[in-house]
Amino acid sequence: MIESMHAVTLGHFLMTGAILFVLGLIGFVTRRNLIIMFLCTEMMFQGVAITLIAFSKFHMNMSGQTFVIFLLTVAAAESAMALGLVVLLFRRKRSLDSQVWAQMAG
Amino acid sequence: MTTLAPWISWFPALAAVLCGVCCFKPTLRNYAAPICVIGIFAAFISSLLVINGMDTHGTLHATAFEWIVVGDFVANFSYFIDPLTMIMLMVVTGIGTLVAIYAAGYMRGDRGYARFFFGVSLFVFAMLTLVLADNLVLLYLGWEGVGLCSYLLIGYYYDKPSAVAAAKKAFIVNRIGDLGFAAGIFFCYTTFGTVTMSGDGGIIEQARGMLESGYPVSTATLWIPFLLMLGAFGKSAQLPLYVWLPDAMEGPTPVSALIHAATMVTAGVYMIARMLPVFELSPYALPTVACVGGATAIFAATIALCQYDIKRIYAYSTVSQLGYMFIGVGALSTAGGVFHLFTHAFFKALLFLTAGSVMHALAGQLDLRKMSGLRHKMPVTCWLMFVGCLALAGFPFLAGFYSKDMILAAALQQGLDGHNTMFVVLAIVGLVTALLTAYYTFRLWFRVFMGPEQFEMGEDHHGDDGDTGHDDAHGHAGENVGGPHEMPWLMNGPLVVLALGALLAGVLGQHWIVDNVSHSTAAPHVAHGAHGADHGDGHHGSLLFGMDLHLAMQLISGCIALLGILIAWYFHLQNRAAADRWATRLSGVVTLLENKWYVDEIYDAVIVSPLRALARGFWWIDDKIINGVVMVIAAIPPLLGRAAQPWQRGQLQGYGLTMAAGIAILAFLIIVSVL
Amino acid sequence: MAYGLYIASFVGAIAMAMMLPRARRSGRGGGGGNGSAARFGMLLGAASLGGVWLWLSEQLLPAAESWGISRPAMVYYYIFSAIAIVAAVRVITHTKPVYSALWFVMVILASAGMFLLLDAEFMAAAMVIIYGGAILVTYVFVIMLASEPGEAGGPGSGGGIGIEIAPEYETVSREPIGACAAGFLLLAVLLSVAFSPIAPNPEAAGPTDAQLLTSVLTDRPAVRLSHITDDPRLAEVMSVNNIDNSERVGLDLFESHPLGLELAGVILLVSLVGAVIIARQQVPLNDPPTTSPTLPTSPEA
């Protein structure tokens, strides 16, 4: 039998998840290496995963963990596609700098 | 076989669809003509079967399918066949078949061969819908359908600017009339509460009821006939809306014969005959119809006197003859009007088609002054046209003779019995017109076929002969170099049938027509005391020169026809120099007539130019003021966009940051408002 | 309470902004940020995080005890959380991609530890295997593939290994201040929600072990693994009433989300195909970099 936990305890785990999420966001926005950008999105996923599992424990419901499985699936798919695209982009411009790709500038 | 009734009009529709398919496949193109002929002929046969299966003087209602049902308002694809419809069915499908057969030869080798037959099939479908319609909305559908086909076929040579202009003119002038017609239908619905014409509770029944119970004069019933009349005048080319018909001769000749002489233009006459009780509700409606018809008859005949284009002469002649029909209908002799419609369909189709043969032989030459003495080159055509001319001129015992004098006698009867001077004047106008008709008809014939043989080939502007890509049965591409030639029997065969009709339709058809019409909705319902004679029921009214009016009229008009032919003979065969002398002596009149009384110019000055000026004014307002405002407003978003452009740096991360910041601020605002 | 979180977020934002790589730097690579400012930022960040924790622990520790989570377990929370956050900061501040990837493995491991605290053993294992094992290896491969020969000291060397000068795009981050402001504003909002009082939803609670055993898992052997152990204590732990985490995850996955499972499979297949097609496209390596990208040729080309 899984024990429930207190809201304050939940809050701590949520805080860790939120910090990871926000750090990933900041990394995505500031880092200019395409690979690191996508790594940062994985970190955002990680923050979300912690949040989901904490809620799963808090409500004693397995759906949170199940959703982390889906999250993992999507993350894996996304990283496969994203890395393929990164390789393609790198071949075009010989650079991983995201600033190089600015054709949509108004 | 009356179960076929709902399907009559759908045979040509099917043919139209198939011809449409043929348009897209060059290999199928030559099948279009047989398909079209078979389609129309199937309609003819099925009409015969249906009529055969019906009682004499019987009526038949048939519904093909439900079309518009909104509350009480019902307008289905429902058909109504009564004796009047039978006549029209015979004319439309019979003449249609003959003209289609002729056209199969005439149009051979033309680029738009399949397109032409598509138009013809569609036209016959629309015309049959018009004729068979049991309600005004369906009739209007057919009305507009024939207008559309007319537009398409006048503009058949769409690379010729004059043809395109003529097509537009026909369409627009018809719109003016149709506006009135549509308004008339609306008023019919509000007045009678239905658009169904026949049967219990139909418009005709109600109108008859009103007639029998005295005149319940209401504004609506006074005006409905005038609105409907406007539509009839537009479609049947009466003053003041006749101007489109002469220009409509830009279309191929079979089209002129079928649509602009035999069938479509008579739709107005048919509609008035069909709705006669409604017209009788207004005491001024039918006299107006008669007056307009009389004015048109003599007006168009005078123009025809001095024209040189063969087809235009016939076009004005058609306008003039339609005027006769309106006199007949207006004089309450619907039998006469419809009878003339019937005979006119034969001889005018014949005349147009023979004119087409001449034109075909001379590579598009239409100018009367540039041809003469063609009788040796084209003997069959010559004598076929001679028959047609005699019939049109009202030569005794031919088709036109009977129908024309029936109308004139009816008008005279109206005038004498009713002591109505107007109708007497109309009868005299009719007689003068008959003289003019005989003259200009034979002026044409003597000029073209008699006298010394000389001709100039045309420029073949219709492109049907110069097409070297086809191997024609009679090889006229080669023969044209050597001069005009007789038509093949594919084309002359239908003409012979038409000529027989022109010879005999009067003698044989009179009784049938009169009998049919008097048992249809077109039978007049004004008290018979004064107007019975035109029913041929033995009732005799006034006498003229001690004779029955009909007999007198026949004598007079026969003499007049002979006189007209003699004048034409003298001036245009015997002594052409005299004709030229008279032309110079009367040069003012001749110029006036050659220019068609300057009607087009007057319309242009009085209607078109002011409209154009008005339109230009509106255009200026639209372009400068309204458009200006719109442009100012339209300039604002680009300005805003240009202001925001620097923010659009095309960098994914910049967008990501903006998005994250937006979400953060939004979430912050929500939290602040909640906590 | 909320104001404390806001102040901490604000300080954390300043710290983060100082730690991010900046344009004005000396020749030394690998330090992340520029020297003293970065170090001061680290201190500041640690102070803000530590301050929050110190302040919160007063409430947490008694609460956790009263709710049956032991004090040592919460200590582990602080440890794993600190590791995860520090590693995350290093991921986004390190100028060498390989090190960033390795720090990310650290994040994974620390959060796997937290999953264990939350009784999610299956997810902890899956996270380590899939993220730490599979995805991260892919990243490292791509980092090696996509190295810039001109700047990275020769075509043979990896992007982050053994270089003297890191490329400019690694060492200069774009808009760090704006990003930190937005990010920490979001964090402040999230934290103020995270610590709002909330009660577990009893209706959302999954079935108890006894319920599962009587309804779904009726065929489950009463005693498992008893044939491989003679230790009565172990046999007792493994028997009857203890349905372990992976069993529960499996039940929930197949009972409540069968369609989602299928869709996840389809997504994986599609991404597999897509990645192959994308990566197959050949760009001539000798072409000079073009300013306007040409349209990609068809996959078959």
List, for residues B174-214, the tens digit of each pLDDT value.
998 999 999 999 999 988 888 888 878 888 888 888 888 87
pLDDT band per the 50, 70, 90 thresholds, residue C39: confident
* Contact predicate B311/B366, CB 8 Å: yes
Contacts of B645 in chain A (CB under 8 A): 106
Q: Which chain C residue shows the shortest CA-CA distance from A47?
A: C111
Nearest in space to B13 (alpha carbons), one of B170, B155, B127, B100: B127
Cα gap B140→B134, rounded to integer Å: 11
Q: In B, residues 643-672, which contact A (CB 8 Å cutoff)?
A: 644-653, 656-657, 660
B667 closest CB neighbour out of C174, C179, C186: C186
**Domain span holding position A50:** 2-102
Look at strands B73-81 and B60-70 and give their pairing.
Answer: antiparallel
Contact B198, B204 (CB under 8 A): yes
pLDDT computed for residue C172 by the predictor = 81
Q: Is the pLDDT of residue B136 over 70?
A: yes
Q: Would you place residue B396 in the very low, low, confident or very high pLDDT band (cuts 50, 70, 90)?
A: confident
Output the pLDDT for position A17.
93
- Is the torsion defined by CA of C62, C68, C69, C70 positive or negative? positive
Q: In angstroms, how far is the first alpha carbon of chain B from the final one? A: 87
Tell me whether A36 touches chain B (CB under 8 Å). no
pLDDT given at position C138: 87
Token representation of residue B560: 């007049």
DSSP type of residue B181: H
* Listed range (A11-15, A62-66, C226-230) with the worst mean pLDDT: C226-230
Report pLDDT for B470: 39
Q: Tokens 């034409």 map to which residue?
A: B568
Is C156's pLDDT higher than 50? no
The pLDDT assigned to A95 comes to 82
Strand-pair partners of B547: B544
Residue B215's pLDDT is what?
Answer: 63
State yes or no: pLDDT of C163 exceeds 50.
no
pLDDT tier at B465 (50, 70, 90 boundaries)? very low
Residue B585 has a pLDDT of 84
pLDDT of residue B314: 92
| Residue C2 clears pLDDT 70, i.e. is over it | no
> Could you tell me where the DSSP H helices lie in B394-420?
399-417
Q: For residue B603, is pLDDT > 90?
A: no
Nearest by CB to residue C206, choosing from A61, A69, A96, is: A61
- Nearest-CB residue to B651 (from A25, A30, A98): A98
pLDDT at position C233: 67
Encoded tokens for B305: 């006197």
What's the confidence (pLDDT) of residue A94?
A: 80
Task: State the DSSP code for B403.
Answer: H
Task: Note the pLDDT tens digit of each residue in A2-19.
Answer: 445 566 678 888 989 999
Q: What per-residue confidence (pLDDT) applies to B586?
A: 82
The number of distinct structural domains making up chain A is 1
**Is the confidence at residue B84, as pLDDT, over 70?**
yes
Q: Residue B546: its pLDDT value, please?
A: 66
Residue B619: CB atoms within 10 Å: 12
Q: Which chains share 3+ C-beta pairs under 8 angstroms with A?
A: B, C
pLDDT at residue C57 is higher than 80: no
- The alpha-carbon gap from C178 to the nearest alpha carbon of chain B, in Å, equals 8
Give how far A3 is from chain B: nearest CA, Å: 30
Q: In terms of DSSP H, where are the helices of B456-488?
A: 476-482
Q: Tell me whether residues C123 and A49 touch, CB distance under 8 A.
A: yes
Look up the ipTM and state it.
0.91
Strands (DSSP E) found in B39-191: 60-70, 73-81
User: Is residue B46 very low, low, confident or very high in pLDDT (cuts 50, 70, 90)?
Assistant: very high
Segment B282-291 shows an average pLDDT of: 89
Q: Is B17 exposed, middle or buried (0-12, 13-18, 19+ CB in 10 A)?
A: middle
pLDDT reading at C150 higher than 70: no
Tokens describing residue B169: 């003119």
Report yes or no on whether pTM surpasses 0.80: no
> Which CATH number do you get for residue A68?
1.10.287.3510
List the single range of A52-61, B512-521, C173-182, C206-215 with lowest mean pLDDT: C206-215
Nearest CA in chain C to A29: C179
Encode pLDDT of C170-189 as tens digits.
Answer: 778 888 888 899 999 898 88
Tokens of B392: 């049109």
Q: Residue C31 above 50 pLDDT?
A: no
pLDDT in tens, B202-253: 888 888 888 888 766 677 888 899 999 999 999 998 988 888 998 898 889 9
| Contact pairs from chain B to chain C, CB under 8 Å | 34
A29 contacts B647? CB cut-off 8 A:
no
Residue type at B259 in one-letter notation: I
The residue extents of the domains of chain C are 1-64+173-196, 67-166, 207-279
Judge whether residue B262 has pLDDT over 50.
Answer: yes
Phi-psi region at B214: left, alpha or beta (left = phi > 0; alpha = psi -120 to 50): left
Rounded to an integer, what distance in angstroms lies between the CA atom of residue C262 and that of residue C99? Answer: 36
The predicted-structure confidence for C11-29, as pLDDT tens digits, reads as follows: 888 888 888 877 554 444 4
Mean pLDDT is highest, among A87-96, B162-171, C156-165, for B162-171
Q: Residue C62 is inside which H or E element, if any?
A: helix C35-66
Q: Under an 8 A CB cutoff, do B647 and A106 touch?
A: yes
Stretch C111-134: mean pLDDT: 89
In contact, B75 and B195? CB cutoff 8 Å: yes
pLDDT at B544: 66
Distance from C-alpha of B201 to C-alpha of B283, rounded to nearest angstrom: 23
Residue B462 has a pLDDT of 45
At C301 the pLDDT is 38
Cβ-count burial of C203 within 10 angstroms (0-12 exposed, 13-18 middle, 19+ buried)?
exposed
Mutate: best of C187, C192, C196, C291, partner B, most B CBs <10 A: C192
Q: Exposed, middle or buried, B222 (CB in 10 Å: 0-12/13-18/19+)?
A: middle
| Confidence bin at C229 (pLDDT 50/70/90) | low
pLDDT for residue A59: 85
Q: Which residues of B touch A25 (CB under 8 A)?
A: 660
Least confident of B558-572, C162-176, C193-207: C162-176
pLDDT at C44: 85
Q: B167 pLDDT exceeds 90? A: yes
C-contacting residues in B 640-669 (Cβ below 8 Å):
651, 653-654, 657, 660-661, 663-665, 667-668
The encoded tokens of residue B224 equal 């409905």
Q: Which of A21, A23, A25 is most worth mutating to test chain B (most B CB atoms within 10 A of its CB)?
A: A25
- Residue in chain C closest to B671 (alpha carbons) equals C189
Which of C185, C192, C193 is opposite residue B664, by nearest beta carbon?
C185
What pLDDT does residue C159 have?
Answer: 45
Q: Please state which CATH number belongs to domain C67-166.
A: 1.20.120.1200
C119/A2 touch (CB, cutoff 8 Å), yes or no: yes
CA distance B646 to chain A (A): 7
B85, B220 in Cβ contact below 8 A?
no
Kindly determine whether residue A32 and residue B657, on different chains, have CB atoms separated by under 8 Å: no
Q: Cβ distance A37 to C175 under 8 Å?
A: no
Per-residue pLDDT, A2: 43
pLDDT at C197 over 60: yes
Using 50, 70 and 90 to split pLDDT, how confident is the model at C108? very high
Token duo for residue B181: 């017609």
Q: What is the Cα gyration radius of chain A?
A: 18
Give alpha helix (H) positions in C195-257: 209-215, 232-238, 245-256
> A30 and chain B: CB distance < 8 Å anywhere?
yes
Distance between CA atoms of residues B665 and B54, nearest Å: 85
pLDDT exceeds 80 at position C281: no
For an interface test with B, the pick among A28, A29, A35 (most B C-beta atoms closer than 10 Å) comes out as A29
Contacts of C290 in chain A (CB under 8 A): 92-93
- In terms of pLDDT, which residue wins out, C81 or B522? C81
Res. C109 pLDDT band, cuts 50 70 90: very high
Residue B472, pLDDT above cutoff 60? no
The whole-number pLDDT of residue A42 equals 92
Q: How far is CA B204 from the centre of its chain?
A: 24
- Between the alpha carbon of residue A86 and those of residues A82, B317, B466, B571, C284, the distances in Å are 6, 84, 68, 98, 16
Whole-angstrom distance, CA of residue C206 vs CA of residue A63 = 9
Residue B527 has pLDDT above 50, yes or no: no
How many helices (H) does chain A have, and how many strands (E)? 3, 0
Average per-residue pLDDT in chain B? Answer: 85
